[in-house]
Amino acid sequence: MDDKGYAFTPLTLLLIVPVIILAVSFGNIINEVNNLAALAIGGDVTSSVGTNIVRAIQDDVADSGRNGAYNATRKVIDDYNLTHTDPPYFPPGTSKKYIIDNKILPALNSNLTSTCRQLEIQTGRNITLRPSTSNKDIPIDPNGNSPETIFQESDIQIVQSDPFGFNVTVSSVNIQVTQNNQSLSFSTPQQNIYVSIIGLEDPYIWVETKARISSVIYEYPYYDPNNVNDPYDFALNISPGKLNYLNECLKGKNLTESEARPYYFPDPNGLSFFDRLEGGKVDTSEPNASRMSTFIIDDPLKEEHGNVATSCIDHEYFSGIGGTYITTTNTVTGDVSQVTDPRGAPFYLSPAYMNFFKLLDNYNYAG
User: What pLDDT, in 10s, does the model give residues 132-155?
Assistant: 767 778 877 776 555 567 888 999
Instruction: Check: CB of residue 231 under 8 Å from CB of residue 222.
Output: no
Looking at residue 37, its pLDDT comes to 41
Of 271 and 367, the one with more pLDDT = 271
Share above pLDDT 70 across residues of the chain, in percent, rounded to a whole number: 83
Residue 169's pLDDT band, with cuts at 50, 70 and 90, is: very high
Phi, psi of 274 (to 5 degrees): -75, -30
pLDDT at residue 29 above 80?
no
How far apart CA 266 and CA 288 sit, in angstroms, is 9
Identify which of 324, 332, 333, 337 has the alpha carbon closest to the alpha carbon of residue 363. 337
How far apart CA 44 and CA 51 sit, in angstroms, is 10
Amino acid at position 171, single letter: S
Task: Indicate the angle between helix axes 29-40 and 10-25, nearest 10 degrees.
Answer: 160
CB within 8 A of 210, min separation 6: which ones?
84, 300, 301
Looking at residue 186, its pLDDT comes to 80
Average the pLDDT over each of 85-89, 103-107, 261-265, 290-294 and give the range with the smallest value.
Answer: 85-89
Residues, the chain, total? 367
How far apart CA 211 and CA 228 sit, in angstroms, is 37
Read off the pLDDT of each residue in 84-93 and give the average, rounded to a whole number.
87
Identify which of 278, 286, 287, 271 has the alpha carbon closest to the alpha carbon of residue 95. 278
- Other CB atoms within a 10 A radius of the CB of residue 26 amount to 8
Cα separation values, 54 from 66, 107, 166, 171, 205, Å: 19, 14, 19, 11, 38
User: What pLDDT, in 10s, does the model give residues 305-344?
Assistant: 998 999 999 999 999 999 999 999 999 999 999 999 998 9
Sign of CA dihedral 89, 91, 93, 96: negative
Among 19-28, 85-94, 223-232, the range with the most confident prediction by mean pLDDT is: 223-232
How far apart CA 135 and CA 58 sit, in angstroms, is 24
Sign of CA dihedral 228, 233, 234, 240: positive
Enumerate the domain spans of the chain.
41-196, 203-365
* pTM of the predicted structure, to 2 decimals: 0.83
